[in-house]
Structure 1
């Protein structure tokens, strides 16, 4: 949800943002018209209500015909006030509905265009020079770390089991991510993975990509695709204290995504799956501090990628590829040797005050309150196993363990393939 005062003062800013995203521009005029109607209907209601109150004071003082006339007028006013109140409520409802439609206003400097129009900010680390390349599934099966056949047998396509060193790798990545977050001052949180509709809508996930989300209709609850969602709702309808600096949380959760619309994309292995685990950074801060905080989140993500010794690049995502709540997003993409391409492994978004307005998260400012900014960023997830196996592989199917992960795998330096059958 956007600040209506800002839209009234500079509607072209929102129009430009909608155009940059490739989204409906007409909604801006519809929103402004609904706002004008709401304000006019509210003014009419208040005018009639004021007249009704004034008349109520005159009636006891009147007598005879004058009193009868005043009583008749009072009856007319009562009906008019009721109708005006209903009209104002209807106008407010329409405005509230339209206010949820526009996406967040993209920040200055965000590249224009769609998915392919990102800007590469930097590339870090050397891509491995491999004499032969196996993909992560072949490596994972050889290590008895990944079992997609039994995953499909038990749960269907795009499900899997992580076994042995595969499970250890995932836990190692997540524990290293949580340690990194705690060392940086984040509060660790294990979050719910089912949330109410108002929380899911408040984060902006029930818009264009609602078909990505699993819904439990009987309970009217949603399975989260990221702990960003419950963490965004953590302080809903609260006034929080930011005098001591940003509130930073690191959420550990299972995540669920339907992967609707991705038919035929990365169906092999565990790149695009319906269930995975993730450690997600989530921050509440003052709006004027959000850009600097965004850079900090990106820095912690790069710290993690360096720790697991992955070649990666950082991209500034184009406006047309942003989620509805993000005003700017940076992705970190690791090199994927088996496909000779970059694969997104982390992202961090500055959502400015968009989510906080929807969820009622405010801070005290002067004589009143104001909305805060929210930001999020991935610090480690199951998909990292893909990049780690492929970039650290050897011709015999063994895989070197990055030094930072060795304590979580019993000190193993190399994962050796198994010759045993499944």
Structure 2
């Protein structure tokens, strides 16, 4: 969540930044009013406890009417504290609930706008494929026996798929391809749990605002994660890292689950938007002064990974209205899909500054021995399903088979699929 001290010290600046994300001045003023109320209750409580302590000491030395007066005063103070403490707790809970729904402050460089149409193109990579009458991944995958959508719908419903034969080997090849390129860059490979407690989802800001997208297992008080960002961030929840160990980088492979609420009728063909998918995710804990450079590093790694697969795409700067709650700035890599005839998002990289770390209580001890909040960043290395879509459509051949990019030859043991 945002730093309440920054809001308190410079409300106009913070309100102006939040207005770029659709937060009204009335919402900001409501938070400020609760903060004033909370601090007043804390100050009164501290004063009363000090008075209670002082008068309790004086009782021992008093006698007669003076002693009874002091006893009555202590009772009065105790009664007021009994009223005050629940009020303070309620105010703090209300303030916490309001702050939890306030998004991160956007970076000055993030473009204004509401949705993907307002994204700003920063760069392009790879060569645009030149294919006469391109087929999409569904037609290609079903013809080669790589994808089975009807049987998946029979077993699990809409937005599920079976990967079959070489598509399975292609998934494993992509995962190893990503891991092998990330490890020399200092990323520790991780297979995290995909069931987490509420604290980890709250800490990464997927709760409370994103609850409609999450599969909840109420009986066990656990949630299926929509990205391994959640358990990777939770690795250092309530911990203090050493300054000399930063940055700490992880590459996590996991299956991910999303309800895709609100997307009825959108991307219903094929396996572009599904409820279950696999992904290699990059996650970094770093010093605040290093996070902008780390963000660019994640973006450049994404471009390198996609370019290495012979894919063509572009990097876009996501507008403030389309940022996730925790992101201060976000880059997407959109790859050209010949079967759709347009660019589609394959990866994203977000700088969450200290927003998640404040909720996770993830800190580090700096060179002066002071505890400071880390900055956290996340970025997709390989979104397996969407990357398979891109490979099938980009590298399709006139004979219906698929050329395997050279970077995957050693992993897949083949130069052609089909």
- Tell me the TM-score normalized by structure 1: 0.96
**1:31 maps onto 2:31 in alignment:** yes
Q: Deviation per CA, 1:161-192, whole angstroms, max 9, x where unpaired?
A: 11111111111111111111112111000000
Q: Residue 394 of structure 1 aligns with which residue?
A: 397
Alpha-carbon separation, structure 2, partners of 1:235 and 1:359: 8
SS at match of 1:243: helix
**Most deviating of 363-372 and 57-66:** 363-372
Q: How does 1:19-418 map to 2 (within 5 A)?
A: 19-115=19-115, 116-365=117-366, 366=368, 368-381=370-383, 382-410=385-413, 412-416=414-418
Alpha-carbon separation, structure 1, partners of 2:304 and 2:158: 34
Alpha-carbon separation, structure 2, partners of 1:239 and 1:174: 31
Q: Deviation per CA, 1:26-63, whole angstroms, max 9, x where unpaired?
A: 22111111111111111101111111111011111111
- Tell me the TM-score normalized by structure 2: 0.97
| Deviation (angstroms), 1:333 | 0.5
CA gap of 1:367–1:52, structure 2 versus 1, over 3 A, is farther
Residue pair 2:298, 2:349 contacting (<8 A) in 1 also:
yes
| Deviation (angstroms), 1:367 | 5.0
SS at match of 2:392: helix
**Most deviating of 278-287 and 364-373:** 364-373
| Deviation (angstroms), 1:210 | 2.0
| Deviation (angstroms), 1:221 | 0.9
SS at match of 1:394: coil
| Deviation (angstroms), 1:81 | 2.2
**Most deviating of 372-381 and 56-65:** 56-65
Over aligned residues, Cα RMSD in angstroms?
1.2
SS at match of 2:151: helix
SS at match of 2:20: helix
Alpha-carbon separation, structure 2, partners of 1:209 and 1:88: 28
Alpha-carbon separation, structure 1, partners of 2:71 and 2:402: 90
| Deviation (angstroms), 1:247 | 0.2
Alpha-carbon separation, structure 1, partners of 2:139 and 2:17: 44
Alpha-carbon separation, structure 1, partners of 2:98 and 2:172: 43
**Most deviating of 9-18 and 212-221:** 9-18
Alpha-carbon separation, structure 1, partners of 2:295 and 2:91: 37
Residue pair 2:101, 2:209 contacting (<8 A) in 1 also:
no
Count of residues paired in the alignment: 415
Residue pair 2:106, 2:327 contacting (<8 A) in 1 also:
yes
| Deviation (angstroms), 1:220 | 1.4
Q: Residue 420 of structure 1 aligns with which residue?
A: none
